[in-house]
């Protein structure tokens, strides 16, 4: 039963060495991937923020939805252009 005097054969040493190499390769690759992800997230530019709609656009949208009538739209539009001229 105990042919090799409880020792490990050459294949056992080969398997153990291969397992150790595989373990360290996976560990180093995992660290490299984590570092790459951390660095790439930091270098990515932020997306541009959309500009808020101008007051005239909001007024036009309210008129289009029927929230205000044409007289109120014209009155408010004249007031907006009088206070803050576009340029």
Digit-by-digit pLDDT tens for the chain (87 residues) are 556 566 677 777 888 899 999 999 999 999 999 998 888 767 677 788 999 999 999 999 999 999 999 999 999 999 988 887 655
pTM: 0.43
* Alpha carbons within 13 A on the beta-carbon side of 9: 4
In the numeric block, which tokens belong to residue 22? 């595989």
Rounded to an integer, what distance in angstroms lies between the CA atom of residue 53 and that of residue 46?
21
**Where do the domains of the chain lie?**
9-44, 49-87
**45-65 exposure pattern, b = at least 16 Cβ within 10 A, e = fewer:** eeeeeeeeeebeeebeeebee
């Amino acid at each position: 039963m105990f042919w090799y005097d409880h020792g490990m054969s050459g294949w056992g040493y080969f398997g153990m060495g291969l397992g150790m190499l595989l373990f360290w390769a996976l560990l180093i690759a995992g660290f490299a991937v984590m570092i790459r992800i951390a660095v790439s997230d930091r270098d990515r530019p932020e997306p541009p923020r959309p500009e808020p709609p101008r007051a005239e656009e909001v007024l036009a949208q309210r008129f289009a939805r029927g929230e205000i009538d044409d007289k109120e739209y014209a009155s408010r539009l004249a007031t907006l252009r009088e206070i803050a001229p576009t340029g």
